[in-house]
Amino acid sequence: VKERRTRQLEAIYEAVRTAVDHPSADEVYARVRQQLPSVSLGTVYRNLQKLSAQGRVRVLHLKERVARYDALVHEHDHFVCERCDAVADVARPAGQPTECPALAQSGYAVHAQTLTFYGVCPRCQRAAPLSERRDNAGLTGVERVAP
């Protein structure tokens, strides 16, 4: 049971590592195809799972159906824009407790926590400050906050 270092695995990891926008599996697939045109979507999924099991990428289940992938595996949180669906990394707030006293007291063992903020990113506030909700076409930019 020895793991092999294949071209595909490395290309997929590189695609996630160099991405700044928390790509979905489909987006990773599109990017890897530019370097390795014969790669298949199934292989992308299989390797993303492997990388996740190895702790080299983090899987994010935000409010959408699709899983997004993040190569920043240290403790940090996320902001999701409700208008353009962009995802930004957020340094964990200083006061944020690592444990939840109520849970610990009730016998729950906590291994991890995820904190996600939802709202409107600066770009979308500028783009459509008055309208109720805008289509996200062309507004897929991402910024990184205090990494």
How is 15-67 classified by DSSP, letter by letter?
HHHH-SS--BHHHHHHHHHHH-TT--HHHHHHHHHHHHHTTSSEEE--SSSS-
Stretch in the footprint of its own copies (CB under 8 A) among 1-9, 24-32, 41-49, 97-105? 97-105
Residue 2 interacting with DNA (CB under 7 A): yes
CB 49 within 8 A of CB 74: no
Contact characters 77-116, DNA, x per CB under 7 A: ----------------------------------------
Using only C-alpha atoms, what is the Rg of the chain? 18
- Tell me which residues in 122-141 interact with its own copies (CB under 8 A): 122, 125
Least Cβ distance, residue 24 to DNA (angstroms) = 5
Residue appearing with tokens 């793991």: 3
Task: Tell me the number of residues near its own copies by CB under 8 A.
Answer: 41
Tell me if 97 contacts its own copies by CB under 8 A.
Answer: yes
